[in-house]
Amino acid sequence: MKKWKQMIPAALIVLSVLLNIIARLSRTFSDCYVNQIFPLWVETYGRLTGLFPFSVGEWMLYLAVLLVALLLLGGLASLLLWRCSPKSDFFTRWRKGYKKYVFFLYWVFGVVCVIMTLNCFLLYQASPITERFKIGAESKEAYGTQELTILRDYVVEQANALSKEFERDENGYILYQGDMKAEAVNRMQKLGEEIPNLAGYYPMPKELFASGFYSQQYIMGYYFPFSMEANYNRQMYVTNMPVTMCHELSHLKGFILEDEANFIGYLACVDSEDPFFRYSAYLSVIGYLDRDFIKAIGEDADIYLAHPVISELTAEDKKFLTEEAWQQVEEKAVVSTETVKQAADTFLNTTLTLNGVADGTVSYSRVVKLLLQYYDGILY
């Protein structure tokens, strides 16, 4: 019986490796998993974690940090005890207890490998959204400056017009009074009528408790595979929240690639009856479109100014955090924002690259190609 207990974690790790290999070799396997099996997780324990008012996944992450810290401290204490009194009864009992703790973490690691594989890694190997669902009309393999310009100008005009519609406080910040979380879930379920994989149950998006730390990483939202929760940064400027909620909710339905989640977040919000959700959608992609447009025209200022210019109000609403929020973040920061940001970028780029996203965080901007394909037959 004891041998079986020792073998199970190893079997879980081997199973995880095998599943990842099979997914890399067979897109049919990955697609079948994403379409048929993955939806079960949010429909089962995703409903359970959804009952909690706080982010279960976030606190599980902090627990993991604590467990690793105890492992390191315990190892250091074992070394000191061994050097001081290697034959004492206390050291014998301590070593026995520490071995049990290490074995417990061995089990935890095996379970984590399986969960990360099932709820994250396998999703990266599924077919692109453009192959699984019809996006746009008879789309081209590539789009040129003309189509990009039309789309960019359209988004700029829509955003500029909407920017004037909202109530604002004395600082010019938008005031929103609606039930944003409920509308985000409603919009995702509505989009599920067009994209079947998005249909079904959604838990309400949850605030990140340590939003200040995530702000230092410039993170707007987070998907926790361990708990099947969509989380958002409660300190970011309000215009980012609707599209971020929908973006993170899309991960719960198997769309793990960031460009696809950006695209789904945009689609979910842009057709909302709530003008604030539409505004959030346009703001979420206006930067990507504008940068690609500038690059396409060779950074020619005369050509740029001949097209609709992003208004001052729209540009101001594109902010990540307000000045007041940034001040709060910096006052409470334990580590400098620059250090945290560099570490977060390295981790995220490494994670994406290991999962087959060769261009790392640059992949976020690939939403432009999806938008060009979507508006083919609508704008041009």
pLDDT in tens, the chain (380 residues): 567 777 899 999 999 999 999 999 999 999 999 999 999 999 999 999 999 999 999 999 999 999 999 999 999 999 998 888 888 888 889 999 999 999 999 999 999 999 999 999 999 999 999 999 988 776 566 789 999 999 999 999 999 999 999 999 999 999 999 999 999 999 999 999 999 999 999 999 999 999 999 999 999 999 999 999 999 999 999 999 999 999 999 999 999 999 999 999 999 999 999 999 999 999 999 999 999 999 999 999 999 999 999 999 999 999 999 999 999 999 888 887 778 677 766 766 676 676 666 554 444 568 999 999 999 989 99
Report whether 266 contacts 255 (CB < 8 A): no
Question: CA 324, CA 170: separation in Å to the nearest integer?
Answer: 13
| Tokens 């019986």 found at | 1
